[in-house]
Amino acid sequence: MCLKKIVFFIVSVVLLCPHLLAVQMECNIPQTDNVGAEVMPQFIEPFHNLPFKMHLLKYPTFPDYTVNVKDYAITANKPITELVNRLIMETCQKGGGKVVIPAGKWKSGRIVLKSNVNLHLEEGAEIEFSGNPKDYLPSVYTMHEGRQIISSGSFIYAFNEKNIAITGKGRIYGPPMDLPIRKNSNSIAWIEKDFPERIEERIFDGMDGRRFFAPKVIAPVQCKDVLIEGMIIERCMFWNINPILCENVIIRGVTVNSVGIPSGDGVDITCSKNVLVEYCTMNCGDDCYAIKGGRNEEGARMGISAENVIIRNCLAKAGHGGLTTGSETGGGIKNIYAYNCVFDGTDMPLRFKTRRPRTGITENIFYERLRIKNVNTVFVWDLLGSYNFVGELANRLPLRPVTKLTPTVRNVCVKNFIVESANCFISARGIPELPISNIQIEDGIVQCENLMPIMHDFENFTLRNLSIVSKQNKIHVLEGKKMLMENIKFSLPENKLYLKVEGEQSEDINFKNIHPNIEIIKE
């Protein structure tokens, strides 16, 4: 009698496990109103149980000295560029402090931050930055899509400074949307074959017939101890927030609205180390949050990776990618940890990109406690790109020799997530000569229209402890090795799973503990 009770209890627990898992995950995974800029706390919370070593980033402090633009003879119609830059320089020379932009509508050209200065935008302050290339002279050193150039830099720029901040609840606007300059292409790809070898010859200032690459919004270069907090950014001309070659960066409580603007990325971390992004809200014309490591062989020569990046309590709404690595991977991307984030309306919430000539290693990526809804494809590995940008290298075949320019994507772990609604669960296009490797997707609940229609060129791909409801029941594997689906609860049409496996290298495609006992039909 006791044995029967024990057996009945064990069976009951097994049957209830999916329900208990769902209840537990709902408690641990944030809702939309738990994340984003509107709920940013006053203080930065400590880091706990990081999957890699990283020191706690300290909130920067500044001397008790404040100067306010309103204390000077200014008018709303006259640009404040010269005055603000002068006040920043004077404040720096006095040892540092705060330069305040008061409430009101202001126009400006490029503002240059200096060490130990906090540029503070009061609530009600609105700065509209110029679309005239002359307002960004002299040209400055920066990186544009992973290449080193001399150009406009950014609306708010800094080079080789320390302990700097842009804070406050003001608003930053790019120039009006109807300006002809917005029709210019900002892509490096179109001129990459004719790119000058010497950096000092890469001048893109729009003068004397030269090409003009539009300024980013906030892009410090080679700076340490950087804080960007609180503002709303709209109408960018190119990427919004882009720390380049920086160390110890905090980005928190920022809202970006750039829907409809090409290359309107939200937060792009380029070749920077020890970065915290938290409580931000992105509604973007391209990727919401992106990690980049330099472009092609030049990025590899620089040898500066994007590493030790934490993204937490953030919201991604519209955008091509929610959280993206690449496609610039030359210097490497490693040690990325994202948790407690929500993706609502993003096209591809978890996106991994590179290209055959991009080189570099993308590795040690950890994501957990994510809520995903109203999206196209949840997981996307796009390692080949399109013919428009890389020519015939976008073709999967023929196999190319593995060289120093062949990129690697490996060691990705995603767990504890809920997909409320998606068109597709996984799409993976690897590089056949160097496949995607060591992927773990665990402890998730998924509702989707399509399962895994494209699974190309991978090795060691594990899906474990998942509950999947899909209206389509097909998995297509091409040149895949060592794929394991373990402890999966499926809800599929006709209780059938159609598995198509192609390629001479395909092997060890295994299923273990699948519930219910579905029929797996090999095509």
Domains of the chain: 16-179+194-520 (2.160.20.10)
Q: HEC profile for 450-474?
A: ECEEEEEEEEEEEEEEEEEEECCCE
- pLDDT tens, N- to C-terminus, the chain (523 residues): 343 433 333 333 344 444 445 556 676 999 999 999 999 999 999 999 999 999 999 999 999 999 999 999 887 779 999 999 999 999 999 999 999 999 999 999 999 999 999 999 999 999 999 999 999 999 999 999 999 999 999 999 999 999 999 999 999 999 999 999 898 889 888 787 788 889 999 999 999 999 999 999 999 999 999 999 999 999 999 999 999 999 999 999 999 999 999 999 999 999 999 999 999 999 999 999 999 999 999 999 999 999 999 999 999 999 999 999 999 999 999 999 999 999 999 999 999 999 998 999 999 999 999 999 999 999 999 999 988 888 899 999 999 999 999 999 999 999 999 999 999 999 999 999 999 999 999 999 999 999 999 999 999 999 999 999 999 999 999 999 999 999 999 999 999 999 999 999 999 999 999 988 899 999 8
**Is residue 226 within 8 Å of 254, Cβ to Cβ?**
no
Give pLDDT, residue 5: 38
With a CB cutoff of 8 Å and minimum separation 6, the contacts of 517 are: none
Strand positions, DSSP E, 175-286: 216-221, 224-229, 232-234, 247-252, 255-257, 267-270, 273-278, 281-283
Would you state the pLDDT for residue 271? 98
pTM: 0.95
CA 422-425-431 angle, to 5 degrees, is: 135
Residue reference for tokens 């594990």? 462
Q: Residue 523 carries which DSSP code?
A: -
- 229/237 Cα distance (integer angstroms): 20
Query: HSE-up of 230 (CA within 13 Å, CB side)?
Result: 18
pLDDT at 3: 38
Name the residue among 289, 291, 267 with its Cα closest to residue 342.
289
281: nearest Cα among 221, 331, 341, 225: 341
> What is each CA distance from 37 to 122, 238, 263, in whole angstroms?
16, 21, 22
Q: Are 228 and 251 in contact (CB under 8 A)?
A: yes
* Spatial contact of 311 and 251, defined as CB atoms under 8 Å apart: no
CA-based R_g, the chain, Å: 25
- Quick one: 309 exposed, middle or buried, by C-beta within 10 A (0-12, 13-18, 19+)? buried
**Please, which residues have CB within 8 angstroms of residue 394's CB and are 6 or more apart in sequence?**
355, 356, 384, 385, 386, 387
Res 6: pLDDT: 33
- Check: CB of residue 221 under 8 Å from CB of residue 142: yes
Token pair of 235, please? 């109408």
What pLDDT does 189 receive? 82
For residue 389, the SS3 value is helix
d(CA 234, CA 215): 14
